[in-house]
Amino acid sequence: MTLELIELSLTAPGADAPLFAALSLSVEPGEVVCVMGPSGIGKSSLLAHIGGHLARGFRTTGEVRLDGQYVTALPAEKRGIGMLFQQAQLFPHLSVGDNLAFGLTPKLRGRVARREAVREALERAGLAGMEDRDPATLSGGQRTRAALMRTLLAQPRAILIDEPFAALDTGLREEIRSFVLDHIRAREIPALMVSHDEGDALAAARTVTLHG
């Protein structure tokens, strides 16, 4: 899969001018591109637009394509784009296993096969046997890994990452970042990662900086 942005621009509700100069970018399979730029320039809004969650009232120009298919007109659930956010939200009322099962692609059929997919994902994330745990009992790093697995189980065509490591302390941040980026590369998924962190930028294949 290749994620392409073509002459993309966003204008916030009530504003006259676009937030950033029109952006054209091609993200190759397994490539992680870091998106940087000053606070308020529109990084989170850019990800929301690509994912199909942009707040009402924004005006947009340009196109988002996945392997040549225009996705801008599709509703979020039809785009096949996975999101990974800073607070790595797991549903608090579901067990860790049910959280992952929630992400599973409907293409995978059968209760046994689905349970096995969750078991294997937890094992790969170093969370073997934690199916029945309450998410509140996991550490920050464990939650990020579980959230990534939930995102991957949906077999997304692209992944959007918004400062998911910012809340982790330095040592853990590097370990979790490698874990997340290695998985994205191994599965050849194109990814955009918004960050203010130099370490994130260095770990990415390249960086684009939004400017006005």
Ligand X SMILES: Nc1ncnc2c1ncn2[C@@H]1O[C@H](COP(=O)(O)OP(=O)(O)OP(=O)(O)O)[C@@H](O)[C@H]1O
> Measured between alpha carbons, how far is 15 from 79 in angstroms, rounded to an integer?
28
Q: Which residues of 44-54 are buried (b: 16+ CB within 10 A; e: fewer)?
A: bbbbbbbbbeb
Nearer to ligand X, 55 or 108 (CB): 55
Using CB under 6 A, pick the residue from 2, 6, 11, 12 that binds ligand X.
12
Interface with ligand X, residue 17, by CB under 6 A: no
Interface with ligand X, residue 55, by CB under 6 A: yes
Number of residues counted as binding ligand X (CB under 6 A): 13
Interface with ligand X, residue 154, by CB under 6 A: no
Q: Which amino acid is residue 193, in one-letter code?
A: M
Element (H, E) at 47: helix 43-51
Interface with ligand X, residue 207, by CB under 6 A: no
In which region does residue 62 sit, left (phi positive, over 0), alpha (psi from -120 to 50) or beta (all else)? left
Nearer to ligand X, 41 or 152 (CB): 41
Nearer to ligand X, 40 or 199 (CB): 40
Interface pattern 56-95 for ligand X (x via CB under 6 A): -x--------------------------------------
> Measured between alpha carbons, how far is 206 from 191 in angstroms, rounded to an integer?
11
The residue behind tokens 């997340």 is: 180
Using CB under 6 A, pick the residue from 27, 33, 42, 168 that binds ligand X.
42
Of 204, 211, 154, the C-alpha closest to 180 is 204
Q: Which listed range, 40-48, 61-69, 72-80, 124-132, lies at the site for ligand X (CB under 6 A)?
A: 40-48
The residue behind tokens 């340009």 is: 62
Using CB under 6 A, pick the residue from 19, 146, 168, 181 that binds ligand X.
19
Q: Which listed range, 38-46, 60-68, 149-157, 173-181, lies at the site for ligand X (CB under 6 A)?
A: 38-46
> Measured between alpha carbons, how far is 34 from 200 in angstroms, rounded to an integer?
7
Written as six digits, the tokens of 135 are 């998410």
Interface with ligand X, residue 44, by CB under 6 A: yes
Interface with ligand X, residue 41, by CB under 6 A: yes
Query: Residues 52, 81: contact at Cβ < 8 Å?
Result: yes
User: Rule CB under 6 A: which residues touch ligand X?
Assistant: 12-13, 19, 37, 39-45, 55, 57
